[in-house]
Amino acid sequence: DKKTESLQEATPELGRRRFFNTTALVGLAGLAACTEKPASGGAPAASAPAAGSHGAANASHLKPGELDTYYGLWSGGHTGDMRVLGLPSGRELLRIPCFVPDALVGWGHTNESKKIMGTKADGNLRYSVGDTHHTHASYKDGNYDGRYAWINDKINSRIARIRLDYFVCDKITQLPNVQGFHGIFPDKRDPVDPAINYTTRVFCGGEFSIPLPNAGTDDAKQYHSLFSCVDAETMELRWQVMIDGNCDLVATSYDGKLAATNQYNTEMGAKYEDMMSAERDACVFFNIARIEEAVKAGKFKTIGSSKVPVVDGTRAANGDAKSALTAYVSVPKNPHGVNASPDQKYFICAGKLSPTATVIELSKVLEWFDGKLEKLDGAIAAEVELGLGPLHTAFDGRGNAYTTLFLDSQVVKWNVDKAIAFHKGDKNAKYVVDRIDVHYQPGHINASQSETVAADGKYLAVGCKFSKDRFLPVGPLHAENEQLIDISGEKMVLMADHPVRGEPHDFIIFKRELLKPKQVYNLDDFPLAVKDPKESGVTRNGKKVTVKMTSQAPAFSLREFKVKKGDEVTLILTNLDKVEDLTHGFAIPGHNVNFIVNPQETASVTFTAGDPGVYWCYCTHFCHALHLEMRTRMIVEA
Ligand code: CUK
Ligand code: CUA
Ligand code: CA
């Protein structure tokens, strides 16, 4: 808006260039390849101004009571959860805990959530930290079907599944023999059975190479990474592929035949200097049908105590195209991000340390596997300059790609067909369509419906890693800046800045009609449900005590209950209220107990009764005019 613009003009020292110079370049000092020269390709040099929503065809401001038209699923980063946003408003609607305990829900405290998260022999959580980066949802016929979303935990190599009917995490699986589980992508179709036109597998990339099994050697050249396939329904591991180099991001083809991961460390370096020593790295393609045939035929090994079949996807074992399980397409220096275009034809790897994007033609990769393409790099349809530090790419369904330029703090819009023409020698092909400044240093980018056949080219969200001067200062930790851009026209228009708590990486945006959320649980889905208040009461088995209770505003079914000091108490609470949004909470002072029960939900907690006394258990979730009165007494006897 006018005020902001004039403020920035009046205080030029707050402009973006200062940050570009001090942060981006100092941070990457020595990476000469990053800073060599500006992008070519006939780009318009000037950037579009930060225009607010003024002039945009799409407006980000919703009036009170208006609903968003898109859902956004955002990874939570360090907070280990998934965040649900409404778009275009950018309002955060929910955080879905999965890898890390959550104080609102009681996630990591209730027995049900602890079972999903995983506990040690002593009953305590195995992990209480997480680092989520990527979230993707299940497909049918090339579009989201609203069943599931998956999200990775990089620290402890866990994959969580979110049910998109109740917006809850229902399963978590740890990948064996993997460190630094990074990229994740569901398949979109079965490579063999065309009737299975929906997601049945989720592919997971292992980023850090380790000795397999993990013991002994400090010679990093002998380390390997695994590319894992998890069954979308059972969440069990189906198979893994041992590869040369490492995995970073993951993409899948629409026909189900190919998955791929980009590799920045084909050098197998243990230090960054070594990891960036080669001029080209790779994008590894996996032939899914062949891998599953090999597993069926018993051509695999297992590693350590894991029973998961591991096939050999190394270069040495896959030189013969006609039987190869993997194919290593070369890509310039330390690529980051691999994305599937909605026309189903290409995977695009962004260059990161190279100012280029590499467009790989999937039909050519399949030709190579069939022995019909002599040189695998013949599958490269284009390798064009975009700008400095390209990371991730999104699509508008009209043939254009949008790539974040981390070092340039820009998004570049480019036309894929024209880039291919330029690469083929048509030097008049102006493939760069537009550039826009973003604030600042963008990582992931995604457009509405981007990686589906229904890419609609309306909104583009950009995850800016540094917000710098865009928000009020709040001490040393700045909010990150998720920016929304209107891409419905030829030129991109910046619509809004949204502060987010660090650090979301990736996100997807899709039409709200694709989800049919349920707002009231089914009592029968909970084996422990206390279906009638009359079942309430205390039963004792030695030191083990079970307390069954129900909630119906404004009362718990037990007005008091008695236990003895040192008892192992399991308290089961069913919320019998049926009205949507009528959630109750249950907290016990001094016992580290606080959780919620949504309508018709059952949850349980187990704790040790403390010193004798009276403990007012109270409802923590405002539910009724008598919410404060909604209490019960736990009387602990000596
Ligand atoms: S990585 Cu974070 S900006 Cu984990 Cu997808 Cu590229
Ligand atoms: Cu029940 Cu507040
Ligand atoms: Ca490298």
| 631: its two tokens | 């209490």
> For position 77, what pLDDT does the model report?
96
Which of helix, strand or coil describes residue 308? coil
What is the residue whose two structure tokens read 């369509």?
433
Same domain, 8 and 148: yes
User: Is residue 283 in a domain?
Assistant: no
Q: Pick out the chain residues at pLDDT < 70.
A: 1-57
For residue 444, the ligand 1 atom closest to its alpha carbon is 3
**Boundary of a domain, candidates 468, 497, 516:** 516
Same domain, 422 and 541: no
Same domain, 40 and 94: yes
Residues linked to residue 604 through DSSP beta bridges, in sequence order: 572
Cβ of 134 closer than 6 Å to ligand 1, yes or no, is yes
Neighbour-count burial for 411-441, b at 16+ CB within 10 Å, e otherwise: bbbbbbebbbbbbeeeeebbbbbbbbbbbbb
Q: 166: closest CA among 630, 617, 609, 583?
A: 583
User: Is residue 465 in a domain?
Assistant: yes
> For position 301, what pLDDT does the model report?
98
Query: Ligand 3 being an ion, which residues bring their Cβ within 5 A of it?
Result: 264, 281, 334
Q: Is the dihedral angle over the CA atoms 410, 411, 415, 419 positive or is it negative? A: positive
Same domain, 587 and 536: yes
54 annotated to bind ligand: no
**Boundary of a domain, candidates 516, 547, 576:** 516
> For position 261, what pLDDT does the model report?
98
Classify residue 379 by its DSSP letter. G
Find the 571 Cα to ligand 1 centroid distance in Å.
Answer: 41
Query: What is the value of pTM for the model shown?
Result: 0.91
For residue 80, what is the domain's CATH number?
Answer: 2.130.10.10
pLDDT digits (tens, 9 = 90+) for 575-594: 999 999 999 999 999 999 99
For residue 569, what is the domain's CATH number?
Answer: 2.60.40.420
For residue 463, the ligand 1 atom closest to its alpha carbon is 3
Same domain, 26 and 149: yes
For residue 627, the ligand 2 atom closest to its alpha carbon is 2
For residue 623, the ligand 2 atom closest to its alpha carbon is 2
Cβ of 621 closer than 6 Å to ligand 2, yes or no, is yes
pLDDT digits (tens, 9 = 90+) for 186-210: 999 999 999 999 999 999 999 999 9
- CA-nearest residue for atom 2, ligand 1, is 505
Which of helix, strand or coil describes residue 523? helix
Find the 91 Cα to ligand 1 centroid distance in Å.
Answer: 22
> For position 57, what pLDDT does the model report?
61
Cβ of 506 closer than 6 Å to ligand 1, yes or no, is yes
User: Is residue 367 in a domain?
Assistant: no
End-to-end CA gap in the chain: 67
> For position 226, what pLDDT does the model report?
98
Same domain, 477 and 593: no
Structural domain for 571, as ranges:
523-637
pLDDT digits (tens, 9 = 90+) for 475-499: 999 999 999 999 999 999 999 999 9
**Boundary of a domain, candidates 477, 501, 516:** 516
Structure ipTM: 0.96
Q: Cα 516 from chain centroid?
A: 21
- CA-nearest residue for atom 3, ligand 1, is 443
Cβ of 188 closer than 6 Å to ligand 1, yes or no, is no
Cβ of 336 closer than 6 Å to ligand 1, yes or no, is yes
623 annotated to bind ligand: yes
User: Is residue 416 in a domain?
Assistant: yes
136 annotated to bind ligand: no
Same domain, 459 and 593: no
- How many domains does the chain divide into? 2
User: Is residue 220 in a domain?
Assistant: no
> For position 221, what pLDDT does the model report?
84
465 annotated to bind ligand: yes
User: Is residue 269 in a domain?
Assistant: no
Neighbours of 378 (CB within 10 A): 14
Same domain, 493 and 574: no
Residue 397, phi-psi category: left (phi > 0), alpha (psi -120 to 50), beta (remainder): left
For residue 628, the ligand 2 atom closest to its alpha carbon is 2
Cβ of 576 closer than 6 Å to ligand 2, yes or no, is no
